[in-house]
Structure 1
Amino acid sequence: MSADVSKFNGCYIQLTNSHLSGHDEDLLITKAKEMFKSQNKNRKFSYIHSWKILRVARKWKGFANPQSGSAKRTRNLSSGAYTSSSSNPNISEVDNNVEVAEERPIGQKAAKEATRNKGKAKKAARAIDEKWNNYKDMQDKRLALCEDVIRQKDEEIRQKDFAILCKETSNMDERARKNHEQICEIIRQKYGMS
């Protein structure tokens, strides 16, 4: 099918480039069918619906563009320099500018290779994500352990403070009782017990 569509597209482009006056799109397609039939042993072109879809694809845009002519370089015998000659008036002879058609789509092998590489990239991304998640889990566990240690230390300090508040002061001398009372006041303020 692809070969037939390509051959028919060539016939159509050939007729389009010949600039037949008074011919519309349908007439050009009919003439291209006749040309295809004469070039291919009276075989009819039966993929017209496919060609209508494919003719706007990038693969055939460069061929169908009558604006892009080919530049031809010839050697000047007198000076030995190269000159360009072209059937396209848009191409400058001085600076050798040639219009370039759009880039064709990648082929089947390149598409398969790109697909394979996408799989490798996804695996690498998954591995990195897994390592990152493991690192985050370890950091969360470490943080939880640190918070537990801090809570335990705070509880030990509260118990010691409570022990100071409940300490028996009857066997203390006057100076020790004054110091104890000042420390008790600080502890009460710390816990809002004043």
Structure 2
Amino acid sequence: MRNRNQLKLRWERIKKPVTEFNGCYARITKVHQSGMSDDQKMDQAMQLYASEHNEKPFTLLHVWRILRHERKWVTYVKKLNKEKENGSSADTGHVVNVEEAPKKRPIGRDKAKEERKEKRKEPEAIVAIGEKLDKFMEATTKAEKIAQVQQNLADTKLEVAKEQTKSKMLDLYKELLCAPTSEFSEEAKAERSKALELMASAIFSKDN
């Protein structure tokens, strides 16, 4: 089980790859609107995703299958597409005079590597927090299971001790019940009867 914050962190970790795969599937569906089965479209989308992610396969297909028909997800995807279209339009409408534009020197390999590292820093931090929370929850669950096992063992030992005590008391009860009383005094007989009554109450009570 995850609390609200853990779910939000989990969503931040999977939102980007699920969205990117959804885009791959949309492109495949748009190109092959007919003449191709759903399974074939899915295979093509998986291949397209892998080709755009250094041959890394898409592993959240079960999440995408759930999200694809959810109203909030559909609205979210439409919003992203609209923002993308608006961004493309803005880029197209902005005319730059090549002669007047200053020549921009291409960044070096080390600089590009540093920029990519900075971009990955925040998602990696979120992933790290999520992993720590998962490990904490796993450790907590294990501790609770160990405590439960220990409690069960303690309860079992207590039950065994009760049964052993009850068995010994029953043997003593039988011995006292069958003992000859002809030579007992009236006082001894009264004590015997009282002891038998107390023992019977302890041995045969409903609670025990």
Bin the TM-score by the shorter chain.
0.3 to 0.5
TM-score (norm 2): 0.39
Query: TM-score, normalized by length of structure 1?
Result: 0.41
More strand, by proportion:
1
Higher helix share: 2
